[in-house]
Amino acid sequence: MKHAVLALLFSGLSTFSAIATFSTHAASAQVNVYSARQEELIKPVLDKFSAQTGIQVNLITGKPDELISRMASEGRNSPADVLISTDVGRLYRAQTQGLLQPIASQALNAAIPAHLRDPAQHWFGLTMRARPVLYIPGKVDPKQLSTLEDLASDQWRGRICIRSSDNIYNQSMLAAMIASIGEEKTLAFAKGLVANFAQPPKGGDRDQIKAAAAGVCDIAIANTYYLAGMFDEPADAKAAKQVKVFWPNQNDRGAHINISGAGVAKHAPNKAAAQQLIEYMVQPEAQNWYATANHEYPVLAGVKWSPVLESFGTFKADPLPLVKLGELNSKALLLMDQAGWK
């Protein structure tokens, strides 16, 4: 099948993979995906979908907020069919801006636990990611660790590395705490955590892990898929091997989790194909690829984890409905600001 190649320039967005034009009048079946996931982390599974269905997938990758802003500015003329994002907070943001539409899908409801999808069916979790405590053996006795809240205690003064407050993963972590323990206790935690920073927040999750390995701090907070991915890269593997995973809050609510997820665009020109693609991404084949290639926890029960994830151990996950992370994002940001979390 021959398709014309269309080059589009997007300010602030990365180069996209497109083998067909973004046209609502194309002769062949297609689906247009705006993805906050990097191309190498999403394209292989999209190619498998195309091979099985004959539906051409046109992929644009970019930063999530830029993709959401683009969809908003495009309005009814947006070619986007599917938005894929890396945190429920941004999917909720897109939903509240009227950029997603609800879809009724028995397949998605059957495959995805209720707390990992929007109750109104605007977005659906595709993979689950966890944000535990990473520590340096020899400097930290795991018996000293218990809950996230305890990281605000004086024993960790100057010993913790974590990203800045403008990071959506940390915002969602605080939002989950607000939902579980309330604003007052969450603010106290945030103030104590800030007092325990080993350095001003900078860099991404991998940078926190590398800082711990380099002796800057004894504890880092980071998503497991970042740590797992470091084992696959020779330049990062040495640092990754120096930290261990501790699962906090196992005696109460469970460890904080989030999702990567997707929703169908409000004005999707290819709605049926968009729904078909999202349904494919929670089938065993796609879920297995995510688990093994990207080291993310599958949302579909029964899919085996990657060996690296298995080495981190099993854990109790917080069953909080993830819609709460979006609803409480603004409160989380306010508390982080009050705590002096830069």
Indicate the fold that domain 130-256+316-338 takes in CATH.
D-Maltodextrin-Binding Protein; domain 2 (3.40.190)
Strands 56-61 and 30-35: parallel
At residue 22, the pLDDT reads: 37
Q: What is the pLDDT of residue 64?
A: 92
Calpha distance 150→144 (Å, rounded): 9
Residue 25 has pLDDT above 70, yes or no: no
Residues near 97 by beta carbon (within 8 Å), at least 6 away in sequence:
68, 72
pLDDT exceeds cutoff 60 at 52: yes
The annotation status of 92 as a binding-site residue, yes or no, is: no
Cα-Cα end-to-end distance for the chain:
52
> Is the pTM higher than 0.75?
yes
How far, in Å, CA of 191 to CA of 179, rounded?
Answer: 18
d(CA 219, CA 254): 19
Going by DSSP bridges, is the β-strand pair 297-298/100-101 parallel, antiparallel, or unpaired?
Answer: unpaired
Asked whether 270 and 281 are in contact (CB, 8 A), the reply is: no
Would you say residue 16 has pLDDT above 90? Answer: no
pLDDT for 40: 83
Residue pair 209/230 in contact by the 8 Å Cβ criterion: yes
pLDDT grade, residue 38 (50/70/90)? Answer: confident
State mean pLDDT over 294-305. Answer: 95
Per CATH, 30-128+258-304 and 130-256+316-338 having the same topology is answered yes
The reported pLDDT for the residue numbered 28 is 64
Q: Which pairing describes strands 82-85 and 219-221: parallel, antiparallel, or unpaired?
A: unpaired
Q: Which of 14-28, 74-88, 300-314 has the lowest mean pLDDT?
A: 14-28
Give the count of beta carbons closer than 10 Å to the beta carbon of residue 141.
9
Taking the domains of the chain in order of start, what are their residue ranges?
30-128+258-304, 130-256+316-338
Q: What is the pLDDT of residues 233-282, one digit of tens each?
A: 999 999 999 999 999 999 999 999 999 999 999 999 999 999 999 999 99
Using pLDDT thresholds of 50, 70 and 90, give the confidence band for residue 18.
very low
Q: Compute the distance between CA of residue 136 and CA of residue 213 in angstroms, rounded to an integer.
A: 7
- Computed over every residue of the chain, the mean pLDDT equals 91
Per-residue pLDDT at 250: 98
Tokens of 242: 């120096």
CATH 3.40.50.300 fits 30-128+258-304, yes or no: no
Is 225 annotated for ligand binding? yes
pLDDT of 39: 86
Higher per-residue pLDDT: 10 or 324: 324
Helix, strand or coil for residue 260? Answer: strand
For range 214-224, the mean pLDDT: 98
- pLDDT single digits (tens) 176-207: 999 999 999 999 999 999 999 999 999 999 99
| pLDDT mean over 85-103 | 96
Give mean pLDDT, residues 300-304: 95
Pairing of strands 30-35, 82-85: parallel
Q: Which residues contact 19 (CB under 8 A, 6 or more apart)?
A: 3, 5, 56, 58
- Cα–Cα distance, 8 to 188 (Å, whole number): 48
Residue 199 phi/psi, 5-degree rounding, is -160, 160
Helix (H) or strand (E) holding 240: helix 234-240
Helix (H, G, I), strand (E, B) or coil at 144: helix
Q: Does residue 217 come out as left (phi exceeding 0), alpha (psi in the -120 to 50 range) or beta?
A: beta
